[in-house]
């Protein structure tokens, strides 16, 4: 069975010196180094659909498949990451926090207190036209396990509906804000029509039992190129 790494990023930008969560930044220069490594070593971007299929042994994949994801939907994903990936023929998935689209805000429960700019629907459509897909990161970026059942259901269903209405594509996958969820969250996602969900647990995905808590590999400010290579080749191969 093919084990497909899922990378996850947040901000592709030069760190704001006032930021209270510097670790979430990857500079455009470092991001480009990472993408160039993937291209040089013949990695090919595939979709989360492909990861799910791989856990079920439903299809064959290129020798070095990889998935690239971005959490939150920051504007810099469009202004910096997208041109680099487009130039290399790579695609990815962006998980949008729908209430933040086109705005400059800070999330209420985040450690980051400096407002950030988020991509607009027009930005998303341009990425979509090149092959990027979009999933939900909820409406308001709240911790899902701490919400009432009614509020959790609203966060899941409304964010899915908003993405589908604005982008005219199915929002098939969810990403848990802060990696926070419980059994009810997973059940609600399945009932709402999601095919799976990404968590923040580290590792690869080996069985179909994990499709609503897909493991990923974080890429952060301190992920130099050697750490990056180690992460996608050895560190998580059996996790």
Structure confidence by residue, pLDDT tens digits, 168-214: 999 999 999 999 999 999 999 999 999 999 999 998 887 777 899 99
Within 8 A by CB and 6+ apart from 157, the residues are 192
Range 72-90 burial, b when 16+ CB lie within 10 A, else e: bbbbbbbebbbebbeeeeb
pLDDT, one tens digit per residue, over 14-34 is 999 999 999 999 999 999 999
- Give the pLDDT score at 1: 42
DSSP 3-state helix, strand, coil percentages of the chain (rounded to 5)?
40, 20, 40
pLDDT, one tens digit per residue, over 34-92 is 999 999 999 999 999 999 888 777 677 778 999 999 999 999 999 999 999 999 999 99
Rounded to whole angstroms, the Cα distance separating 79 from 9 reads 14
Q: Which residue has the tokens 């400059």?
A: 104
Residue 28 in 3-state DSSP? helix
At the topology level of CATH, where does 6-235 sit?
A: TIM Barrel (3.20.20)
- Give the pLDDT score at 134: 98
The pTM score is 0.95
Domain ranges of the chain: 6-235
């Amino acid at each position: 069975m093919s084990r497909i790494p899922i990378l996850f990023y947040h901000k592709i930008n030069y760190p704001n010196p006032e930021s209270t969560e510097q670790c979430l930044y990857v500079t455009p220069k470092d991001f480009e180094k990472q993408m160039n490594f993937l291209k040089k070593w013949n990695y090919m971007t595939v979709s989360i659909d492909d990861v799910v299929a791989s856990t079920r042994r439903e299809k064959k994949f290129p020798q070095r498949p990889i998935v690239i994801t971005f959490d939150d939907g920051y504007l810099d994903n469009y202004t910096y990451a997208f041109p680099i990936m487009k130039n290399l023929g790579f695609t990815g998935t962006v998980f949008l926090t729908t209430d933040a689209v086109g705005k400059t805000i800070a999330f209420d429960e985040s450690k980051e207190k400096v407002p950030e700019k988020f991509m607009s629907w027009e930005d998303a459509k341009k990425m979509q036209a090149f092959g990027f897909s979009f999933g939900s990161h909820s409406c308001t970026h709240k911790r899902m396990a701490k919400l009432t059942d009614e509020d959790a259901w609203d966060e899941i269903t409304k964010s899915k509906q908003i993405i589908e209405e604005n982008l005219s594509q199915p929002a098939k996958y969810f990403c848990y804000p802060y990696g926070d969820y419980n059994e009810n969250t997973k059940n609600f996602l399945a009932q709402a029509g999601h095919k799976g969900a990404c968590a923040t647990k580290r590792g690869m995905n080996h069985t179909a039992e994990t499709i609503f808590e897909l493991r990923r590999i974080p890429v952060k400010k301190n992920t130099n190129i050697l750490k990056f290579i180690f992460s996608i080749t050895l560190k998580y191969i059996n996790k």
